[in-house]
Chain A
């Protein structure tokens, strides 16, 4: 079965540079979530999109922006990179369900490891 694809898998940048992370959700999934996991930390929710519209926002810095495109893939754009942005960035996708007795399970991608030097 198709899984969530993230690219690149590894990225090295210098301080103050920009980075773009890409996420390709599972086909027919309409919701994308971005999480940031710092070294030794738990994943922290950044932002999510449903049907190409931002649905929820977490602890995403103003230097970061994201969008979901017409083909449902999503990109996380990070500018003015700081050393503290070094982390594993996960994308997850789900199919939204409005039934309270079911659940739109999130499937995680393998993550993009960003290193800022």
Chain B
């Protein structure tokens, strides 16, 4: 069975602060894929990043960065210099390498960036 845990239900920060969203996962697969999605108030799911289990390089994309650590089964997401437009629900998701290809989502973290 696969499981994704996002322990932070809600986070509020003031604009320009840095914020880290935590994601811990469980899987028995040796090859798996991790994702972050953003869901703004309009409801659509916006793909942010995919990370393969055999690639532990951290990644930076503009103000976004991701820290993948297999040793702790974590895939944390940091927003630097947050902006009001970053306010959204952020989901971490997992997909194994087996025949079942659906995504298992965490419960999401509601991020509110205050002006």
A contact set with B: CB distance below 8 Å: 31, 33, 35, 41-45, 48, 55-56, 58, 88, 90, 94, 96, 100-101, 103-108, 110-111, 113
Nearest chain B CB to A66 CB, angstrom units: 13
Q: How far is the CB of B110 from chain A (nearest CB, A)?
A: 9
The number of residues on chain B lying at the interface, defined by a beta carbon within 8 Å of a beta carbon of chain A, is: 23
Contact of A42 among B44, B95, B99, B107 (CB under 8 A): B107
CB within 8 Å of A: which residues of B? 31, 33, 37, 43-45, 47, 50, 52, 54, 91, 95, 97, 99-108
Nearest Cβ distance between residue B80 and chain A, in whole angstroms? Answer: 25
Q: What separation, in Å, do the CA atoms of A96 and B31 have in the docked complex?
A: 17
Q: Which residue of B lies closest to A105 (CB)?
A: B50
Contact of B101 among A35, A43, A94, A107 (CB under 8 A): A94
Q: Cβ of B99 and Cβ of A108 under 8 Å apart?
A: no
* B52 closest partner in A (C-beta): A103
Say yes or no: A110 contacts B101, CB within 8 Å: no
Q: Enumerate chain B residues within 8 angstroms of A56, measured Cβ to Cβ.
A: 99-102
Contacts of B33 in A (CB 8 A): 103
Q: Are A103 and B50 in contact (CB under 8 A)?
A: yes
List of A residues within 8 angstroms of B37 by Cβ:
108
